[in-house]
Each structure stands twice: as structure tokens, then as C-alpha cells.
């Protein structure tokens, strides 16, 4: 049996996430302390005791979700259940940074700072209200690509996330995305609904953020990962630091090819998927992509105790 660790993206945030891990494992607490120090603020206090509206702000959610994932990984390592037991890692959007941190390609402090920069740059790339994202349920990928192209006109509307066979997310100008929702419903989509996000991620409107991330990534050390990382924009494993850096820049405007990434992992023999951090969204997607797989969500001490039991 081959195992992969997968790391969640934005939307998995919740007040209190990771707190029980920090209380149960000194190594997990140390992760939150290092992230606080890197950001020169107590992000941990916001995660555990703050308002969900503040935690959901992109510039906070991104480093917070990563910190929670790394705390869960630190707890697994303390129990001898960590990276020595995996063949691949992968992450959904910002989760790719968590995966790279887990694989030793980017230090924890640098990862936190990069995600704070990434979150702010994505938020600032498009004025509030100009862009939107929507989930289309019940149409396959090729059909949604055609819907987005039909709706775009002289605006931006494109597939942002190919999540699983039942869900494809589109992104772009708000008017074009709303047109796409109506076209999708007319073509038989079960649902097509706007998402409660603050910016149109993973589309051409994010070009200013990609430029910011190019500069930011040029200033940090990126190493070859200790295990291959299956990257969003290529849906295949990457093991070279130079490619990692370039693909993280491409990821800002590029498509999150999660369905294809999981299919690649299945083709490589991975049957066991551990979702490391907050929530269970990826586990559900993976099961819908390939039923003959096993999933575990690892976000609490109880989850880790169940592994040992």
C-alpha cells in the first residue's frame, strides 16, 4: 500500500483549529509559535480565539491553514507516523505550500511569510466586487470549459479548480461568471452557485499577484523536496527546486488540476490518503474521484490516537 499526505486549501478554516494539537503535542505548539514569530503577530490567537470573519480574510486564512497542517504533521512525526511513511505529497491551492513545507522544500517561517504575501497580493489584485467565483455541479470538466468560454465575451471567465467529477469551479469577472452560471444551468448543471470568496482566484485577473509572488519566491531558499510533490498546474510529480519555484508562480493564475492530480497519484499506486490539517474537503473529493481508495482526516489528537489504536 502506497500513501500520500494531502493538504487542504482555503475554505477549511475554523476557529479553534489546531488548538487541541498544540495542547497535546509540544512539537505542534512550536509550529504555531514559529509562525507567530515569522509574521510578527499572534496569528495563533486569531486562529483559536478570534472572529471567523477575520480568520477568513485571505491574508490570514492562508498562513493559518498552513500552520494547522504543519502542526498536525509535527504531531504525526512525534508519534513516528510522519514523512518517512509517504511516497508523495500534494496540496490544493495554498495547500501546495503546506505540501512543499512538509517535504522540506521551503522552511516553515518562509512558507508563512510567502502565504501572507500571497494572500494580500491576491486580495489586492482585483477590486472588491469586480471578480467572482462559482461552483458548477453536475457537468463534466469539458462541458464547464465550454460554458466558461461561451460566457466570457471580452471578459475573463475560466476554470479555476477541477475538483472532482461532480464539481468544477470557475473564476473571472463577476458579470461573466454570473452569465456562466445561467448557461451551465441551461445545459443541465444540477447547481451553479456563486462562492463566498473575496477575489477571483486562479484566473488571468490574478496576473498582478503572480508578479508579486515571482519577486517573493526569488528571495527565499527553495530546495529539492525529500518526496515528490504532485503540483496543481501540472498534475504530476515534481522533484526539482527550480521547477517548484516557477510552478508556484504559475499556480497563481493557473488551474488547480486536483482531479487529474489524484488520478496521477492513483496511477502511481497510491491507495491511502491522509488529509493533514483542518477539515475533510479533500477526502470527499478523493473518494468521488476514485472510490477504491482509503481516506483519513488528521486534525486532532483523537485522529492520531485512532491511527495508533
| Active-site annotation, residues | 93, 202
Please state, in angstroms and rounded to a whole number, the distance separating the CA atoms of residues 15 and 95.
18
Please state, in angstroms and rounded to a whole number, the distance separating the CA atoms of residues 144 and 13.
27
**Contact predicate 231/174, CB 8 Å:** no
Cell of 153: 465575451
Closest among 172, 228, 222, 163 to 197, alpha carbons compared: 172
Please state, in angstroms and rounded to a whole number, the distance separating the CA atoms of residues 225 and 27.
21
List of residues 6+ apart from 232 with CB closer than 8 A: 91, 92, 93, 96, 247, 251, 254, 255, 256, 257, 258, 261
Question: DSSP label at 206?
Answer: G
What string of DSSP letters covers 259-288?
HHHHHHHHHTTEEEEEEESS-SHHHHHHHH
The label of the residue with cell 497542517 reads 69
Residue 199 phi, psi dihedral angles, 5° rounding: -160, 160
- Interstrand relation of 191-194 and 131-137 (parallel, antiparallel or unpaired): antiparallel
DSSP lists the bridge partners of residue 236 as: 231
Amino acid at each position: 500500500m502506497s500513501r500520500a499526505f494531502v493538504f487542504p486549501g482555503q475554505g477549511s478554516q475554523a476557529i479553534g483549529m489546531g488548538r487541541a494539537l498544540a495542547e497535546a503535542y509540544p512539537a505542534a505548539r512550536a509550529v504555531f509559535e514559529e509562525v507567530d514569530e515569522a509574521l510578527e503577530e499572534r496569528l495563533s490567537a486569531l486562529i483559536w480565539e478570534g472572529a471567523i470573519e477575520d480568520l477568513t480574510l485571505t491574508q490570514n486564512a492562508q498562513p493559518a491553514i498552513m500552520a494547522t497542517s504543519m502542526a498536525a504533521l509535527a504531531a504525526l512525526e512525534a508519534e513516528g507516523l510522519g514523512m518517512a511513511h509517504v511516497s508523495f505529497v500534494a496540496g490544493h491551492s495554498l495547500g501546495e505550500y503546506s505540501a512543499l513545507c512538509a517535504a522540506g522544500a521551503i522552511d516553515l517561517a518562509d512558507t508563512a511569510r510567502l502565504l501572507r504575501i500571497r494572500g494580500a497580493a491576491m486580495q489586492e489584485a482585483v477590486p472588491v466586487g469586480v471578480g467572482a467565483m462559482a461552483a458548477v455541479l453536475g457537468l463534466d470538466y469539458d462541458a464547464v470549459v465550454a460554458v466558461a468560454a461561451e460566457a466570457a465575451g471580452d471578459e475573463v471567465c475560466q476554470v479555476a479548480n477541477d475538483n472532482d467529477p461532480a464539481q468544477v469551479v470557475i473564476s473571472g469577472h463577476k458579470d461573466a461568471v454570473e452569465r456562466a452560471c445561467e448557461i451551465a444551468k441551461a445545459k443541465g448543471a444540477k447547481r451553479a452557485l456563486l462562492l463566498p470568496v473575496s477575489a477571483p482566484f486562479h484566473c488571468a485577473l490574478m496576473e498582478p499577484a503572480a508578479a508579486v509572488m515571482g519577486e517573493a519566491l526569488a528571495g527565499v531558499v527553495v530546495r529539492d523536496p525529500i518526496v515528490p510533490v504532485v503540483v496543481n498546474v501540472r498534475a504530476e510529480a515534481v522533484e526539482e527546486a527550480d521547477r517548484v519555484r516557477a510552478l508556484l508562480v504559475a499556480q497563481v493564475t493557473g488551474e488547480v488540476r486536483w482531479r487529474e492530480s489524484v488520478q496521477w497519484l492513483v496511477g502511481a499506486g497510491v491507495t491511502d490518503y491522509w488529509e493533514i490539517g483542518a477539515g475533510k474537503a479533500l477526502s470527499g473529493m478523493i473518494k468521488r474521484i476514485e472510490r477504491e481508495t482509503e481516506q483519513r482526516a488528521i486534525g486532532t489528537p483523537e485522529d492520531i490516537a485512532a491511527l495508533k489504536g
